């Protein structure tokens, strides 16, 4: 067990347990079980929370769901190794526990020194998981100064991958501006010798071959079209094939012969010289260029026992220093997608990349469960190409647009290849996102009760309960020809006086039976 964990008693009627597992591009997969005698323990040993992070551990009354039941939950606000557990015993109360998972000797205290545990966040609801979510969102929003309206983003990764040059990107810059994009983010491939994912991580200078005049011409083009400029970085790792690794093998965690993962090794940020090198490299970029946003990626586990605590605290210290020196620069936490989404790193970042998959069908469930903890304005959600990069699944544009709408929306697609009609629809969707942004990012999330294998209903209700926006999502073919009615959760009081279809939504499909009349009114 964690040597210094927080343990909280839970009433005996809480007999069902829900937490999360997952893997790359399929994060936050719920798993539910009955709480029997003994311990249900979840440990993460990745040096980051990981794609299989338990995330939130919930104990609730039998059959608790999104809209009903009492639920108790804990979350550890920490970006390193952790343990969450639940225990039922005949010798005492049922408990939920959480704490940092430390290797023997990982933290050594000299006389007079102290150790502070990560915060354990505990929450209770008498109104199911949605009640937890509402309280958590209120808490998370109270932790930080109000964010400016979340800008519509275009990220270049799935648009161009490593094919970067001013000539290649200028048409995309123009297309992004025409669509109404507010932040243009240059992803992986801009730095010295970075022609694929096997080299150059750690050499954080602009590639003179691809960018003979630096990034200034691109940034000026972006800024002249009233967009912010953002840049991708992966500062915690290094490629074996890099100038940095050849010059400083002593800075590599576990040494230069340590096992690679994704052709990467980890920089030991507890070494002052390595820490200073990374900090100075990033500061130099932020000083030279007009950069408003950093996508801070971290694509591998540490695989080095006993180093997680020092690496995590060094990361927090570096992020805090950058925020202090460059307070206007926003930072996104990305860890091969959603492998580092927690309330510990939230103190230092302004956005999370929810998952590496832009497949809208997979995103429906990933966003549904990630948003229990994190408000939607913190969760990046992008419209990808018609054929999803990771799954190969094809998706209708309206479905992709509607899925991205319920988050910090963006685009990850080469818009220059989109047909003119699609470009028009995207521009209309961007305008709708901007128009509904205050509601989407300030209201209360509501979700349909239970987990219908065929359909999901979710939405956002304004704080005054006078306005709401809902999505009714078909996950697969229905099981009946005549569809049953759905009651929208947390409906506006006294009925609906006006109901309009979103411009992002598809027009209702025609049915051969006269009994099918589309969406029912809310009750």
Catalytic: 268?
no
Whether the Cβ atoms of residue 297 and residue 338 lie closer than 8 Å to each other:
no
DSSP of 443-509, one letter per residue? SEEEE-SS--SSEEEEEEE-TTSS-EEEEEEE-S--SSSSPPP-PPTTPPTT--S-----TTSPPPP
Vertex 44: Cα angle to 40 and 50 (nearest 5): 125
Backbone angles phi, psi at 468, to 5 degrees: -155, 155
Distance from C-alpha of 270 to C-alpha of 104, rounded to nearest angstrom: 18
**CB proximity list for 509: less than 8 A, separation 6 or greater:** none
Any alpha helices (H) in 34-187, and if so which ranges? 128-142, 157-160, 166-179
Residues 6 or more apart whose CB falls under 8 angstroms from that of 396 comprise 506
Of the residues 188, 297, 350, 359, which is catalytic? 297
Find the catalytic residue in 188, 207, 356, 359: 356
With beta carbons less than 8 A apart as the criterion, state whether 205 and 164 touch. no
Intra-chain end-to-end CA distance of the chain, in Å: 48
Per-residue three-class SS string for 187-244: CCCCECCCCCCCCCCCCCCECCCCCCCCCHHHHHHHHHCCCEEEEEECCCEECCCCHH
φ, ψ of residue 20 in degrees (nearest 5): -135, 150
Six-digit token string for 409: 């929306």
- Locate 99 and state its tokens: 């704490």
356 assigned to active site: yes
Hey, which residues are catalytic here? 297, 356
């Amino acid at each position: 067990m964690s040597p210094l964990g927080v343990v909280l008693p839970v009433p005996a009627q809480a007999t069902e347990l829900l937490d999360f597992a997952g893997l790359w591009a399929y994060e936050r997969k719920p798993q539910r079980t009955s709480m029997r005698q003994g311990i249900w323990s979840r440990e993460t040993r990745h040096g980051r929370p990981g794609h299989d992070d338990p995330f939130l551990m919930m104990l609730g009354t039998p059959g608790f769901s999104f809209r009903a039941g009492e639920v108790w939950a804990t979350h550890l606000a920490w970006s390193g190794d952790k343990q969450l557990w639940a225990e039922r015993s005949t010798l005492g109360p049922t408990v939920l526990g959480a704490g940092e998972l430390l290797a023997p000797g990982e933290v050594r205290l000299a006389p007079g020194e102290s150790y502070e545990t990560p915060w354990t966040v505990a929450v209770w609801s008498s109104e199911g998981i949605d009640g937890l979510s509402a309280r958590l969102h209120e808490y998370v929003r109270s932790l930080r100064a109000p964010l400016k309206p979340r800008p519509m983003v275009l990220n270049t990764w799935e648009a161009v991958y490593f094919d970067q040059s001013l000539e290649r990107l200028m048409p995309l810059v123009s297309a992004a501006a025409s669509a109404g994009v507010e932040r243009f983010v240059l992803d992986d491939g801009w730095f010295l010798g970075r022609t694929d994912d096997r080299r150059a991580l750690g050499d954080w200078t602009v590639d003179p071959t691809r960018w003979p005049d630096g990034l200034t011409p691109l940034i000026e083009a972006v800024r002249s079209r009233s967009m912010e400029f953002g840049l991708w970085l992966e500062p915690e790792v290094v490629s074996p094939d890099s100038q940095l690794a050849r010059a400083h093998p002593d800075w590599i965690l576990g040494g230069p012969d340590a096992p690679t993962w994704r052709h990467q090794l980890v920089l030991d940020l507890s070494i002052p010289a390595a820490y200073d090198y990374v900090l100075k490299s990033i500061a130099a970029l932020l000083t030279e260029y007009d950069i408003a946003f950093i996508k801070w990626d971290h694509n591998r586990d540490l695989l080095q026992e006993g180093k997680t605590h020092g690496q995590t605290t060094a990361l927090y210290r570096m992020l805090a220093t950058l925020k202090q020196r460059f307070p206007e620069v926003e930072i996104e936490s990305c860890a091969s997608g959603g492998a580092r989404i927690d309330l510990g790193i939230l103190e230092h970042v302004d956005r999370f990349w929810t998952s590496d998959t832009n497949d809208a069908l997979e995103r429906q469930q990933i966003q549904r469960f990630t948003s229990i903890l994190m408000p939607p304005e913190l969760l990046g959600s992008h419209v990808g190409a018609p054929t999803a990069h990771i799954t190969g699944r094809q998706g209708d544009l309206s479905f992709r647009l509607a899925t991205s709408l319920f988050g910090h929306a963006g685009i990850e697609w080469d818009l220059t290849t989109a047909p003119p009609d699609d470009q028009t629809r995207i521009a209309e969707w961007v305008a709708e996102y901007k128009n509904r942004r205050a509601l989407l990012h300030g209201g209360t999330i509501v979700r349909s009760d239970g987990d219908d294998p065929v359909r999901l209903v979710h939405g956002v209700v304004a704080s005054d309960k006078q306005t709401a926006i809902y999505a009714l999502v078909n996950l697969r073919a229905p099981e009946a020809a005549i569809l049953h009615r759905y009651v929208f959760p947390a409906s506006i009081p006294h009925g609906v006086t006006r109901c309009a279809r979103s411009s992002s939504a598809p027009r209702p499909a025609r049915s051969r039976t006269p009994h099918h009349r589309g969406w029912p009114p809310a009750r």
